[in-house]
Chain A
Amino acid sequence: GAGVSQSPSNKVTEKGKDVELRCDPISGHTALYWYRQSLGQGLEFLIYFQGNSAPDKSGLPSDRFSAERTGGSVSTLTIQRTQQEDSAVYLCASSFGGRPTEAFFGQGTRLTVV
Protein backbone atom coordinates (compact mmCIF):
# COMPACT_ATOMS: atom_id res chain seq x y z
CA GLY A 1 0.00 0.00 0.00
CA ALA A 2 0.92 3.64 -0.23
CA GLY A 3 1.16 4.17 3.50
CA VAL A 4 0.95 2.48 6.88
CA SER A 5 -2.54 1.16 7.44
CA GLN A 6 -4.06 0.48 10.86
CA SER A 7 -7.32 -1.18 11.72
CA PRO A 8 -9.73 -0.65 13.23
CA SER A 9 -9.58 3.14 13.39
CA ASN A 10 -11.75 3.11 16.50
CA LYS A 11 -12.44 0.37 19.02
CA VAL A 12 -14.68 0.46 22.06
CA THR A 13 -14.43 -2.55 24.34
CA GLU A 14 -15.62 -3.58 27.75
CA LYS A 15 -13.19 -3.84 30.62
CA GLY A 16 -11.78 -7.34 30.85
CA LYS A 17 -12.13 -8.18 27.15
CA ASP A 18 -9.22 -8.92 24.83
CA VAL A 19 -8.55 -6.72 21.79
CA GLU A 20 -6.39 -7.08 18.69
CA LEU A 21 -5.05 -4.11 16.78
CA ARG A 22 -3.64 -4.55 13.30
CA CYS A 23 -0.88 -2.75 11.43
CA ASP A 24 0.00 -3.14 7.75
CA PRO A 25 3.39 -1.47 7.16
CA ILE A 26 4.62 0.05 3.93
CA SER A 27 5.67 -2.70 1.55
CA GLY A 28 9.38 -3.47 1.84
CA HIS A 29 9.82 -1.80 5.22
CA THR A 30 11.69 -4.11 7.56
CA ALA A 31 11.26 -2.12 10.77
CA LEU A 32 7.92 -1.78 12.55
CA TYR A 33 7.12 0.10 15.74
CA TRP A 34 4.16 0.33 18.09
CA TYR A 35 3.60 3.40 20.25
CA ARG A 36 0.84 4.47 22.60
CA GLN A 37 -0.40 8.03 23.05
CA SER A 38 -2.68 8.80 25.95
CA LEU A 39 -4.84 11.91 25.86
CA GLY A 40 -2.66 15.02 25.85
CA GLN A 41 0.52 13.00 26.32
CA GLY A 42 3.58 12.22 24.22
CA LEU A 43 4.33 8.96 22.48
CA GLU A 44 5.15 6.00 24.67
CA PHE A 45 7.28 3.32 23.02
CA LEU A 46 5.82 -0.20 23.23
CA ILE A 47 7.66 -2.61 20.93
CA TYR A 48 9.97 -2.59 17.90
CA PHE A 49 10.51 -5.23 15.23
CA GLN A 50 13.57 -5.11 12.96
CA GLY A 51 13.81 -7.74 10.26
CA ASN A 52 14.40 -11.21 11.64
CA SER A 53 15.98 -9.97 14.87
CA ALA A 54 14.35 -10.56 18.24
CA PRO A 55 11.89 -7.72 18.90
CA ASP A 56 12.64 -5.01 21.44
CA LYS A 57 9.78 -5.48 23.91
CA SER A 58 11.19 -3.16 26.56
CA GLY A 59 8.27 -0.74 26.36
CA LEU A 60 5.41 -3.16 26.91
CA PRO A 61 3.74 -1.98 30.14
CA SER A 62 2.61 -5.38 31.40
CA ASP A 63 2.34 -9.02 30.42
CA ARG A 64 -1.20 -8.31 29.21
CA PHE A 65 0.39 -6.72 26.16
CA SER A 66 1.94 -8.76 23.35
CA ALA A 67 2.69 -8.27 19.70
CA GLU A 68 3.72 -10.39 16.81
CA ARG A 69 4.75 -9.81 13.27
CA THR A 70 3.95 -12.52 10.78
CA GLY A 71 6.02 -13.06 7.66
CA GLY A 72 7.96 -9.89 8.29
CA SER A 73 4.95 -7.80 7.30
CA VAL A 74 1.64 -7.43 9.15
CA SER A 75 1.76 -6.93 12.90
CA THR A 76 -0.88 -7.50 15.55
CA LEU A 77 -0.84 -5.90 18.99
CA THR A 78 -2.93 -7.85 21.49
CA ILE A 79 -4.12 -6.51 24.82
CA GLN A 80 -5.60 -9.10 27.13
CA ARG A 81 -8.05 -8.35 29.95
CA THR A 82 -8.24 -4.69 29.01
CA GLN A 83 -8.29 -2.05 31.74
CA GLN A 84 -9.55 1.53 31.58
CA GLU A 85 -5.99 2.84 31.71
CA ASP A 86 -5.35 1.08 28.41
CA SER A 87 -7.56 3.67 26.70
CA ALA A 88 -5.32 5.56 24.28
CA VAL A 89 -4.43 5.94 20.64
CA TYR A 90 -2.18 3.13 19.47
CA LEU A 91 0.13 4.20 16.65
CA CYS A 92 2.13 2.00 14.32
CA ALA A 93 5.08 3.12 12.21
CA SER A 94 7.39 1.45 9.73
CA SER A 95 10.72 2.30 8.16
CA PHE A 96 13.08 0.91 5.60
CA GLY A 97 16.00 -1.00 7.10
CA GLY A 98 18.63 0.88 5.13
CA ARG A 99 19.40 4.58 4.92
CA PRO A 100 17.56 6.87 5.13
CA THR A 101 15.56 5.36 7.95
CA GLU A 102 12.66 7.77 7.84
CA ALA A 103 9.71 6.45 9.85
CA PHE A 104 6.15 6.74 8.56
CA PHE A 105 3.14 6.50 10.83
CA GLY A 106 -0.37 5.17 10.39
CA GLN A 107 -3.43 7.09 11.51
CA GLY A 108 -3.70 5.09 14.70
CA THR A 109 -6.36 3.06 16.47
CA ARG A 110 -8.30 4.88 19.17
CA LEU A 111 -9.05 2.36 21.91
CA THR A 112 -11.66 3.15 24.53
CA VAL A 113 -12.17 0.74 27.41
CA VAL A 114 -15.51 1.23 29.18
Chain B
Amino acid sequence: KQEVTQIPAALSVPEGENLVLNCSFTDSAIYNLQWFRQDPGKGLTSLLLIQSSQREQTSGRLNASLDKSSGRSTLYIAASQPGDSATYLCAVRAGSSNTGKLIFGQGTTLQVKP
Protein backbone atom coordinates (compact mmCIF):
# COMPACT_ATOMS: atom_id res chain seq x y z
CA LYS B 1 0.00 0.00 0.00
CA GLN B 2 1.40 3.38 -1.02
CA GLU B 3 2.01 5.78 1.86
CA VAL B 4 3.25 9.35 1.59
CA THR B 5 5.04 11.11 4.43
CA GLN B 6 6.03 14.75 4.70
CA ILE B 7 8.67 16.06 7.07
CA PRO B 8 8.66 18.36 8.92
CA ALA B 9 5.00 18.80 9.83
CA ALA B 10 5.61 22.47 10.55
CA LEU B 11 8.39 24.91 9.81
CA SER B 12 9.00 28.53 10.78
CA VAL B 13 11.73 30.57 9.11
CA PRO B 14 12.70 34.23 8.83
CA GLU B 15 12.05 35.99 5.57
CA GLY B 16 14.78 35.55 2.96
CA GLU B 17 15.86 32.05 3.94
CA ASN B 18 16.11 29.22 1.46
CA LEU B 19 14.28 26.12 2.64
CA VAL B 20 13.59 22.51 1.72
CA LEU B 21 10.42 20.54 2.28
CA ASN B 22 10.60 16.76 2.14
CA CYS B 23 8.22 14.15 0.80
CA SER B 24 8.79 10.40 0.85
CA PHE B 25 6.72 7.55 -0.55
CA THR B 26 6.89 3.83 0.12
CA ASP B 27 6.25 2.41 -3.36
CA SER B 28 8.47 3.65 -6.18
CA ALA B 29 5.88 2.61 -8.80
CA ILE B 30 4.45 6.05 -9.35
CA TYR B 31 3.31 7.77 -12.51
CA ASN B 32 4.01 11.30 -11.34
CA LEU B 33 4.29 13.50 -8.25
CA GLN B 34 2.62 16.83 -7.71
CA TRP B 35 3.25 19.58 -5.16
CA PHE B 36 0.35 21.74 -4.00
CA ARG B 37 -0.11 24.76 -1.81
CA GLN B 38 -3.10 25.25 0.46
CA ASP B 39 -3.93 28.53 2.14
CA PRO B 40 -6.13 28.44 5.27
CA GLY B 41 -9.75 27.78 4.42
CA LYS B 42 -8.98 27.43 0.73
CA GLY B 43 -8.65 24.69 -1.85
CA LEU B 44 -5.38 23.38 -3.27
CA THR B 45 -3.29 25.23 -5.83
CA SER B 46 -1.02 23.18 -8.05
CA LEU B 47 2.62 24.28 -7.90
CA LEU B 48 4.67 21.72 -9.80
CA LEU B 49 4.14 18.39 -11.52
CA ILE B 50 7.03 15.96 -12.03
CA GLN B 51 6.59 12.97 -14.30
CA SER B 52 8.20 9.73 -13.16
CA SER B 53 10.84 10.02 -15.90
CA GLN B 54 11.88 13.51 -14.80
CA ARG B 55 14.36 14.54 -12.13
CA GLU B 56 13.21 18.07 -11.41
CA GLN B 57 10.87 20.89 -12.32
CA THR B 58 11.28 24.60 -11.72
CA SER B 59 8.81 27.44 -11.47
CA GLY B 60 10.09 30.82 -10.35
CA ARG B 61 11.55 30.48 -6.85
CA LEU B 62 10.35 26.89 -6.57
CA ASN B 63 12.30 23.80 -7.56
CA ALA B 64 11.02 20.28 -7.06
CA SER B 65 13.19 17.21 -7.41
CA LEU B 66 12.27 13.55 -7.69
CA ASP B 67 14.32 10.47 -6.89
CA LYS B 68 11.89 7.70 -7.68
CA SER B 69 14.19 4.83 -6.79
CA SER B 70 14.69 6.10 -3.25
CA GLY B 71 11.09 7.24 -2.89
CA ARG B 72 11.86 10.89 -2.25
CA SER B 73 10.96 14.32 -3.48
CA THR B 74 12.01 17.72 -2.22
CA LEU B 75 10.51 21.16 -2.74
CA TYR B 76 13.10 23.91 -2.57
CA ILE B 77 11.88 27.46 -1.97
CA ALA B 78 14.44 30.18 -2.58
CA ALA B 79 14.46 33.54 -0.82
CA SER B 80 11.29 32.83 1.15
CA GLN B 81 8.68 35.58 1.57
CA PRO B 82 5.82 36.02 4.08
CA GLY B 83 3.42 35.33 1.20
CA ASP B 84 4.85 31.83 0.98
CA SER B 85 3.23 31.01 4.32
CA ALA B 86 0.82 28.14 3.67
CA THR B 87 0.54 24.36 3.92
CA TYR B 88 2.46 22.47 1.24
CA LEU B 89 1.20 19.06 0.19
CA CYS B 90 2.78 16.47 -2.03
CA ALA B 91 0.78 13.80 -3.81
CA VAL B 92 1.83 10.79 -5.85
CA ARG B 93 -0.20 9.25 -8.62
CA ALA B 94 -0.01 5.54 -7.84
CA GLY B 95 0.76 2.92 -10.46
CA SER B 96 2.27 3.01 -13.91
CA SER B 97 -0.43 4.80 -15.87
CA ASN B 98 -2.36 8.05 -15.82
CA THR B 99 -5.37 6.30 -14.33
CA GLY B 100 -4.04 5.99 -10.80
CA LYS B 101 -5.49 7.93 -7.89
CA LEU B 102 -3.61 10.68 -6.07
CA ILE B 103 -2.30 9.80 -2.62
CA PHE B 104 -1.44 12.72 -0.37
CA GLY B 105 0.96 13.35 2.44
CA GLN B 106 -0.17 15.15 5.59
CA GLY B 107 1.47 18.39 4.54
CA THR B 108 4.08 20.79 5.90
CA THR B 109 2.77 24.03 7.36
CA LEU B 110 5.22 26.82 6.59
CA GLN B 111 5.38 30.16 8.33
CA VAL B 112 7.71 32.82 6.96
CA LYS B 113 8.22 35.64 9.45
CA PRO B 114 8.83 39.20 8.20
Contact = CB atoms under 8 A, between A and B. Distances in A.
A35 B32 CA distance: 19
A98 B51 CA distance: 12
Interface in B90-109: 91, 93, 98-99, 101-107
A99 B102 contact: no
Interface residues on B, range: 20 to 34
A42 interface: yes
A93 interface: yes
A100 interface: yes
Interface stretch (B13-21, B38-46, B62-70, B73-81): B38-46
Assign chain A's interface to a size class: 20 to 34
Contact of B32 (A50, A93, A101, A108): A101
A68 interface: no
Given A99-B98, A105-B44, 5 more contacts: A31-B98, A91-B43, A93-B44, A102-B46, A107-B43
Interface of A: 31, 33, 35, 41-43, 45, 48, 50, 53, 56, 91, 93, 97-108
24 contacts: A42-B89, A42-B105, A42-B107, A43-B89, A43-B104, A45-B103, A50-B99, A53-B99, A56-B101, A91-B43, A93-B102, A97-B98, A97-B99, A98-B98, A99-B98, A100-B51, A101-B31, A101-B49, A103-B46, A103-B91, A103-B102, A105-B45, A107-B42, A107-B43
